[in-house]
Amino acid sequence: MRTPAEESPTLTQPAGVGSPETAFVLAVGPQPPAKATFWSQLKASLAMFGNRKSAAGLVILGVFVLVAIFAPWIAPYDPNAQHLDQTLQPPSFQHLLGTTHIGQDVFSQLVYGTRGVLVVGFLATIMATVVAIVVGVTAGYLRGWRSESLSALSNVFLVIPGLPLMIIVASQFDDPPLPLIAAVLGLTGWAWGARVLRAQTLSLRNRDFIQAARANGEPLHRIILVEMLPNLMAIIASSFVGTMTAAVLGLTTLAFIGVIPVSNLNWGTILFWAQQNNAFPDYWWWYVPAGLCIALLGVALALINFGIDEYVNPRLRSAGERARAMKRKGMDVNAAVTQVRTGTASAGPAESASESTTA
Amino acid sequence: MSAQSTTGQTTTGRTTAGQPGDPTLVGTTAARTERRGRRIPWRFIGGRVAFYAFTLWAAITINFFLPRLMKGDAVSSYMARSQGQLTPDAEKALRLMFGLDSSVPLWQQYLDYWNMLLHGNLGVSISTGMAPVGDAIASALPWTLGLVGFATVVSFLIGTGVGAVIGWRRGGRLDVLVPVTTFLGTVPYFWLGLIFIAVFSTTLGWFPAGHAYELGVEPGWNGEFLGQVVSHAALPVLTIVVVSLGGWVLGMRNMMLTVLDEDYITVAQAKGMPDRRVLWRYAARNAVLPQIQSFALALGFIVSGTIVMEMVFSYPGIGLLLLNATSAKDYALMQGIFLILVLAVLVANILADIAYAILDPRTRQTEA
């Protein structure tokens, strides 16, 4: 590792001007603990995404985001262009996923539909997460009736069934605009995150480092933003992902029902038209890809959440690995009696001793 | 100043030491816990009752304000659709009937609305020929309750059982089930329902594709009708179970992994208890508690899924009624259905609370 000083031109000049290069090595001495720079902190706060499951989920999500951004370059046709001479074509090289009843290219619709799903999904999720953080952390930090009433509010929203409320609100408008749909999805989706965040904040506020910060006279906004929020990141991320899953499902469902305008192209709209025009069961290329896309996005989000779960609760990760390791040595993880094994070459004595104590 | 602080101390001291007359503090520890266990947890019950009452009030208030916040109202859209065939007098009469008369102050409308509700009057439904909303809902509700109730219980039992076994045999071949059920859980209800219809009904012809029973059959408690109902409900139930299974499996497995690390499991095994007993009576019983709590959350999801599923299967339940009301802009019916759905979810929550209190003695003794 080269320090920045080594690279500076004055010090790399030939000897005689300054001290020899070895002096640097001696001067540095034992490495001090890494200083908390912005990048190291960012790396630490992203550690929950560092396992294979989260990474796989993020990659899938990233592909969808790229498709949404570059939709005009990826889609071979205008999604609404009608090719009346090529209706209900099965997949071919000309139309990768076939065509609809009026000759629209299904693949292009799918690509543009990704944009509709992700824009509304992210918008709704960001709104819901902001509300969840504000309500949840405040309810967890405050005491007394204010905390209780905020918690009751989130519990009420948790119990009220979301989709009927969405249907009723959306149906009051003839042509609900996208931000409104996102707001309705967000309004019905913030409660669970707020509840989990409140519980975690409650347990955090009595920890020593928070008490110390309060005793030091740190202002409230600093305690919440600097001391608490980093410790809530995993839960915030997890509730973000969960809310996004619900928002995507809610959006596609609303579109499929036909409550939101069908001009807003998303995967649900494709299914809406497919069902309206009796695509089931013969024209599979029309309805199977859209459903699979919804499921794939859901799997990606679920994978991210699995990873966060395992990061938060290491038992989930270690239990399976430990059990498999024991099985490889011919032991049963649920055996009540620890087997005394003689003459097995597969494991070292120290390892087997440690395993038998955990059994 | 000092006198104040001493009195303060004495009062707190007395309360923490416990009143001498408190019957729960007399006798041996065992007798005390015995008596305490039988004591009815008024504080817990009271808290829950207050919460349910508050939720109900909030739902009714949302219900009241939603149509009044919006631009158009039921009567205007009805008038627009009748295209001048109704006189302004009729419009005024309709407004009075719906409690939408703008000359009445809002708080008076709100009180009238409550008065109507307390008399069991949900208004009249425009789309079903001015029939009372209550009647329209009453004819649809049993179908939804039977279908969703059965499917939810089946899904919960199977999912929790499978999750417990997967958690017990951790690291085994059964772990494959976790990603499989998760994938199925992310599939939208309506899409899976349509696929099931395409495969099992249209292609294979095993089950009918929609409706609760064939048109020619007379409803009644006879074998033919019941057989029809079962075969028509098969695909919807299958859809709900398949989609909602994943959440239960994953939740139970994760809790099992956490619980199986506890010391009392090790102790139970060390005592030489049979595996079956340790699995179900020790580990699963404790791991199932968060599952019951998450029941409340799942319920809203299931209700939402059911609405779309009823549309896909043309099942004559609440969901289909709501969608028809939406497309007909029948606000009174929409509000009535929303209210009934909230009520149903609340009742299910109360049942979950009772089950929780039976399974977990701690909720009965301390404030939850």
Can you point out the beta strands (E) in chain B?
A: 124-125, 131-132
Is A253 close to B188, i.e. CB distance below 8 A? yes
Is A309 close to B334, i.e. CB distance below 8 A? no
From A37-51, B15-29, B175-189, B273-287, the region with the lowest mean pLDDT: B15-29
Is B72 close to A172, i.e. CB distance below 8 A? yes
A43 in contact with chain B, both atoms CB, cutoff 8 A: no
Q: Chain A: residue nearest B310 by CA?
A: A257
Q: Chain A: residue nearest B253 by CA?
A: A316
Query: How many angstroms separate the CA atoms of B264 and B159, rounded?
Result: 25
Residue B72 has pLDDT above 70, yes or no: no
Q: What percent of chain B has pLDDT over 90?
A: 1
**Tens digit of each residue's pLDDT (9 = 90 or more) over B262-298:** 888 888 888 888 888 888 888 888 888 888 877 766 7
Min CA distance, A253 vs chain B (Å)?
7
Is A155 close to B308, i.e. CB distance below 8 A? no
Is B258 close to A315, i.e. CB distance below 8 A? yes
Q: Is B215 buried (19+), middle (13-18) or exposed (0-12) by CB count in 10 A?
A: exposed
What residues 261-290 of chain A have any CB closer than 8 A to a CB of chain B?
A: 271, 275, 280-281, 284, 287-288, 290
Q: What percent of chain A has pLDDT over 70?
A: 81
Q: What is the DSSP string of B14-43?
A: HHHH--TT-GGGSS-HHHHHHHHHHS--HH
Report if pTM > 0.80.
no
Collapsing DSSP states into helix, strand and coil, what is residue B125?
strand
Q: Chain A: residue nearest B318 by CA?
A: A164
Of A171, A294, A333, the CB nearest to B188: A294
Q: Which two tokens stand for residue A25?
A: 């090595």
Residue A223 has pLDDT above 70, yes or no: yes
Q: Chain B: residue nearest A195 by CA?
A: B297
Q: Which of the residue ranges A164-178, A248-262, B78-92 has the most confident prediction, judged by mean pLDDT?
A: A248-262
A312 in contact with chain B, both atoms CB, cutoff 8 A: no
Of A165, A172, A284, the CB nearest to B70: A172
Contact B175, A320 (CB under 8 A): yes
From A129-133, B72-76, B336-340, the region with the lowest mean pLDDT: B72-76
Min CA distance, A241 vs chain B (Å)?
13
Is B254 close to A316, i.e. CB distance below 8 A? yes
Q: Chain A: residue nearest B74 by CA?
A: A172
> Given pLDDT bands bounded at 50, 70 and 90, which one contains residue B96?
low
A253 in contact with chain B, both atoms CB, cutoff 8 A: yes
Count of A-B CB contacts under 8 Å: 169
C-alpha closest to that of B174 among A298, A54, A333, A320: A320
Eight-class DSSP state of A335: -
Residue A316 or residue A31, greater confidence: A316
Query: How many angstroms separate the CA atoms of A357 and A359, rounded?
Result: 5
What residues 78-107 of chain A have any CB closer than 8 A to a CB of chain B?
A: none
Whole-number average pLDDT of chain B:
75
Query: How many angstroms separate the CA atoms of B244 and B254, rounded?
Result: 16
Q: Which amino acid is at B325?
A: A
* Angle CA B5–B11–B15, to nearest 5: 145
Q: Which two tokens stand for residue B40?
A: 């009815």
Residue A203 has pLDDT above 80, yes or no: yes
Q: Which two tokens stand for residue B290?
A: 């968060």
Is B195 close to A291, i.e. CB distance below 8 A? yes
> Given pLDDT bands bounded at 50, 70 and 90, which one contains residue B205?
confident
CB-CB neighbors (< 8 A) of A249 in chain B:
188
Is B182 close to A302, i.e. CB distance below 8 A? yes
Give the pLDDT confidence score for residue B36 in this predicted structure: 52
Whole-number average pLDDT of chain A:
77
Is A334 close to B169, i.e. CB distance below 8 A? yes
Residue A339 has pLDDT above 60, yes or no: no
C-alpha closest to that of B133 among B117, B146, B149: B117
Min CA distance, A358 vs chain B (Å)?
9
> Given pLDDT bands bounded at 50, 70 and 90, which one contains residue B39?
low
The 3 state secondary structure assigned to A236-274 is HHHHHHHHHHHHHHHHHHHHHHCCCCCCCCCHHHHHHHH
Q: Chain A: residue nearest B329 by CA?
A: A171
Give the pLDDT confidence score for residue A123 in this predicted structure: 92
Euclidean distance between the first and final Cα of chain A, in Å?
44
Mean pLDDT value of segment B214-221? 67
Residue A243 or residue B352, greater confidence: A243
> Given pLDDT bands bounded at 50, 70 and 90, which one contains residue A65?
very high
CB-CB neighbors (< 8 A) of B66 in chain A:
168-169, 172
Residue B104 has pLDDT above 90, yes or no: no
> Given pLDDT bands bounded at 50, 70 and 90, which one contains residue A337?
low
Q: What are phi and psi of B340, to 5 degrees?
A: -65, -40
CB-CB neighbors (< 8 A) of B192 in chain A:
291
Min CA distance, A29 vs chain B (Å)?
44
Query: How many angstroms separate the CA atoms of A227 and B304, rounded?
Result: 38
Burial A49-67, CB ≥16 within 10 A → b, else e: bebebbebbbebbeebeeb
Is A164 close to B62, i.e. CB distance below 8 A? no
Give the pLDDT confidence score for residue A128 in this predicted structure: 93
Give the pLDDT confidence score for residue A31 in this predicted structure: 63
Q: Chain B: residue nearest A252 by CA?
A: B188
Mean pLDDT value of segment A343-357? 43
Min CA distance, A176 vs chain B (Å)?
12
**Tens digit of each residue's pLDDT (9 = 90 or more) over B305-329:** 778 888 888 888 888 888 888 777 7
Euclidean distance between the first and final Cα of chain B, in Å?
38
Give the pLDDT confidence score for residue A129 in this predicted structure: 93
Query: How many angstroms separate the CA atoms of B102 and B204, rounded?
Result: 57
> Given pLDDT bands bounded at 50, 70 and 90, which one contains residue B97?
low
Chain position carrying tokens 């302004």: B88
**Tens digit of each residue's pLDDT (9 = 90 or more) over A105-150:** 888 888 888 888 898 899 999 999 999 999 988 888 888 888 888 8
Residue of B144, B190, B339 to mutate when probing chain A, most A C-beta within 10 A? B190
CB-CB neighbors (< 8 A) of A245 in chain B:
186
Mean pLDDT value of segment A225-235? 83
Min CA distance, A162 vs chain B (Å)?
7
CB-CB neighbors (< 8 A) of B270 in chain A:
336
Is A287 close to B254, i.e. CB distance below 8 A? no
Give the pLDDT confidence score for residue A127 in this predicted structure: 93
C-alpha closest to that of B145 among B350, B347, B353: B347
Mean pLDDT value of segment B351-364? 74
Give the pLDDT confidence score for residue A169 in this predicted structure: 78
What residues 138-157 of chain A have any CB closer than 8 A to a CB of chain B?
A: 152, 155-156
Give the pLDDT confidence score for residue B225 in this predicted structure: 72
